[in-house]
Amino acid sequence: VDAFQAWCGPCKTVVDLFQKIRNKVGSDLLHFAVAEVDSIDALEKYRGKCEPVFLFYAGGELVAVVRGVNAPLLRKTILEQL
């Protein structure tokens, strides 16, 4: 989940990375979503930050968090979680 604030919008530069990985591993294993933290109370702790935050969930549980746009770390985290 790309957790973003309305004033900065979702991180468009990472969408391509997710699409490439999703095509490689299969669409059934990886799902990408965006969530505006300003309108979701459960994501309140991610408000007021000027860096993107990527939340990784498995089985309904938060399993990893990556702060900032770090393509190698995002790729590594995705592949580890899969």
Domains belonging to the chain, first-starting first, are: 2-81 (3.40.30.10)
pLDDT digits (tens, 9 = 90+) for 22-44: 888 877 878 888 888 888 999 88
Beta strands 34-36 and 53-58, pairing class = unpaired
pLDDT digits (tens, 9 = 90+) for 43-73: 888 888 777 889 999 988 999 999 988 889 9
Entry pTM: 0.81
